[in-house]
Structure 1
Amino acid sequence: MSFYHPRETRIQTSAGSLWHCVYGGDKPGIPLLVLHGGPGFLSMPETVCELGNERPVHFYDQLGCGQSDKASDPSLYTPEGYVRELADVRQALGLDEVCLMGFSWGAMLAGLYLLNEKPTGVKAALFCGPLLSSPAWERDQRAYISRMPQEVQEAIFKGEESHDFGSDYQEAMMAYYRRHLCRLDPWPDFVADALEKLNMEIYFRLWGQSEFTISGLLKEYDLMGRLHEIEIPVLLTCGDFDEAGVGTVRHCQMAMPNAGMAVLPDASHLHHIEKSELFLMIVRNFLEEKL
């Protein structure tokens, strides 16, 4: 089937050339535009590409990420810059009608775009393992850390206090990630490969040393007080061990007038990979009902 054979292109923007691919480009459904996480990560089409049997599913690597160009000046790596880039990508692809799917930081990107740009033609949105409030995210991580083994907690606190993020901190970080980022054992090769390709310059600048040590430009970003402005249909998904805490995701869902929520059992931040069949069923039901 055609959706198994993605078409790759380049998108030219004022800041650089971006990698893009589409699955199911000839399908009739309203297109899905996928915004990857990070910041500084890259597209992982696995699982989500399966939706290309019903509609075009577009992926692109944000500036500085994956197969896209690196910025000529690191100061271009800003949340606002990525919002402008999203608008440029949508225009370049001719997506007059579209459904946005944002993973983690990609949900914040989608939220900023919807709230600040007030775009027309966005028919629905999916926020997966969503970062929508950095302060709430940080509180959730601190609660999770308090339930980690004592030696893991001590290594994290010592690293943060001394600003020594060496081997002890890194080992504690990975123990945390195996519980709250991806619970598969071993991690799929494509997940490990993608993490190795994370652009740390972007990650440090916008976020921090790890998922729980936050010091970057996004530290104070909080959309919670404006989520009521998002009136389109929204589906929020998370795992019950997700870095995006279930309670926080629930607060975000309740703040929006037309939002639903699904919690995937025994899953974490990469719940769409850990529980791919269930995730796809939930998403397909939402898209069929709302689009």
Structure 2
Amino acid sequence: MMQSFFDSQNEKYKLHNQPITTAMSSTEIPVIEGDVDYDVPSAGKPVKTHYWVHGDLKSGKTPLVALHGGPGSTHDYIAVISDITKAHGIPVILYDQIGNGRSTHLPEKLGVADFWTVQLFIDELDSLLKHLGVQDNFDLYGHSWGGMLSIAFAVRQPKGLRKLILASAIPKMQDYVASTVKLRSTLPQDVQDTLTKHLAGEMVDPKELQAAEGAYYGRFVISIESKEMTASIVQLMSDPTVHFTMLGPNVFTVVGPLKDFDLIPELHKINVPTLLTNGRWDGVQDSVVAPMFKHIAKTKWAHFAASSHAPHLEERERYMEVVGQFLTSGY
């Protein structure tokens, strides 16, 4: 992620009210929230995961647990997935991963790569599932980094996992990096030049940099104005500990431990029906998604031609139809 772009998002955020935490009024569907104690001895202090439940976990319908991206973002920008609750009565569980949003922050762990591991977040998910009593029957939705985490979780073949949705997920980080390089080459030459100079450590005009970063993000991350996305971006930048440690300062030159993330050799272990989604102008291009379609046995792939990295916001109505059909069908 890049600072000047997020500074511009912060200005947009100030024009809105508080962060969006639900896709609809709480009078339409019940929404409860709470905290889960998460035992992490190496944290050196008590850790809590903050969660929201849309709908009724006792309804008899399999709940959908949604994992946000980043790493270091928040649930706000994927809260619209609770449209599924209104349409189908499916309970949706959202949460902020530790280090982010309303969950415990650990800024003192900035740069401590052996603390911020994939396993840390898998264990957190296990903790949440058990706390809510849904560990024996649940569906999983993961967007971007949340999709990476969902892959790492699903290859363990957890007994309670019924269906899996991998939204703009990245099974191999270097494939994603190559994809972003290719997409950058489609931008106007002056934008490319500004980004190239900045990444090389050269001084560039701050306004030109902000415009160049905005051109990239507006084309390949989210193509519409979204207060939900802005809320998550602002919160990420208010404490970038997780993002900077695991990934690095930008999406073009991943220098954190996630640079070596590669679960393609383990994709065949995923044994539940899986829906793959991505956008036409997504940083997660088809070349990144293709190995999942090839190696996961029971797979469907939905492509959103008018979207970038956030089809759930950019083509919300169609996206929810696709997700709803997948969750309610026999396969």
Instruction: Report the TM-score, using the length of structure 2 for normalisation.
Output: 0.82
For 1:252 and 1:163, how far apart are their aligned partners in 2? 38
For 1:207 and 1:279, how far apart are their aligned partners in 2? 28
For 2:248 and 2:50, how far apart are their aligned partners in 1? 25
For 2:204 and 2:184, how far apart are their aligned partners in 1? 16
Superposition RMSD on alpha carbons, in Å? 1.9
Secondary structure of 1:162 counterpart: coil
- TM-superposed CA distance for 1:118, in Å, is 3.4
Residue 287 (structure 1) aligns with: 327
List alignment gaps of at least 5 residues for structure 2. 1-25, 41-46
Residue 252 (structure 2) aligns with: 212
Which of 159, 166, 188 is the matching residue for 1:127?
166
For 1:8 and 1:17, how far apart are their aligned partners in 2? 13
Deviation sequence 1:137-184 (CA, Å, 0-9, x none): 011001001111112211222122227698354432221000011111
- Contact kept, 8 Å, 1:135 with 1:219, in 2: the verdict is yes
Deviation sequence 1:97-131 (CA, Å, 0-9, x none): 1101000000110111122x432110110001112
Residue 49 of structure 1 pairs with residue 49 of structure 2: no
For 2:144 and 2:62, how far apart are their aligned partners in 1? 23
Give the number of aligned pairs: 288
- TM-superposed CA distance for 1:196, in Å, is 0.9
The change in CA–CA distance for 1:236 and 1:215 in structure 2 (over 3 A counts) is same
- Contact kept, 8 Å, 1:97 with 1:122, in 2: the verdict is yes
Residue 193 (structure 1) aligns with: 231
Partner letter of residue 33 of structure 2? E
The change in CA–CA distance for 1:118 and 1:251 in structure 2 (over 3 A counts) is closer
Residue 38 of structure 1 pairs with residue 70 of structure 2: yes
For 2:184 and 2:279, how far apart are their aligned partners in 1? 17
For 1:5 and 1:112, how far apart are their aligned partners in 2? 31
- TM-superposed CA distance for 1:255, in Å, is 1.6
- Contact kept, 8 Å, 2:157 with 2:269, in 1: the verdict is no
Which of 13, 16, 34 is the matching residue for 1:9?
34
The change in CA–CA distance for 1:158 and 1:107 in structure 2 (over 3 A counts) is same
Matches within 5 A, 1:217-232: 217-232=257-272
Identity among equivalent pairs (%): 26
For 1:134 and 1:163, how far apart are their aligned partners in 2? 26
Instruction: Report the TM-score, using the length of structure 1 for normalisation.
Output: 0.93
- TM-superposed CA distance for 1:214, in Å, is 1.2
- Contact kept, 8 Å, 1:28 with 1:55, in 2: the verdict is no
The change in CA–CA distance for 1:245 and 1:274 in structure 2 (over 3 A counts) is same
Which of 184, 192, 197 is the matching residue for 1:145?
184
Residue 64 (structure 1) aligns with: 99
The change in CA–CA distance for 1:129 and 1:19 in structure 2 (over 3 A counts) is same
Secondary structure of 2:74 counterpart: coil
- Contact kept, 8 Å, 2:79 with 2:94, in 1: the verdict is no
Which of 167, 173, 179 is the matching residue for 2:213?
173
Which of 255, 261, 266 is the matching residue for 2:306?
266
Residue 53 (structure 2) aligns with: 22
Q: Is the deviation greater in 59-68 or in 75-84? A: 75-84
Residue 252 of structure 1 pairs with residue 283 of structure 2: no
The change in CA–CA distance for 1:70 and 1:176 in structure 2 (over 3 A counts) is same
Q: Is the deviation greater in 206-215 or in 172-181? A: 206-215
Residue 118 of structure 1 pairs with residue 151 of structure 2: no
- Contact kept, 8 Å, 2:171 with 2:288, in 1: the verdict is no
Partner letter of residue 103 of structure 2? S
Partner letter of residue 173 of structure 2? S
Deviation sequence 1:227-267 (CA, Å, 0-9, x none): 11111100001111111102321332122111110001210
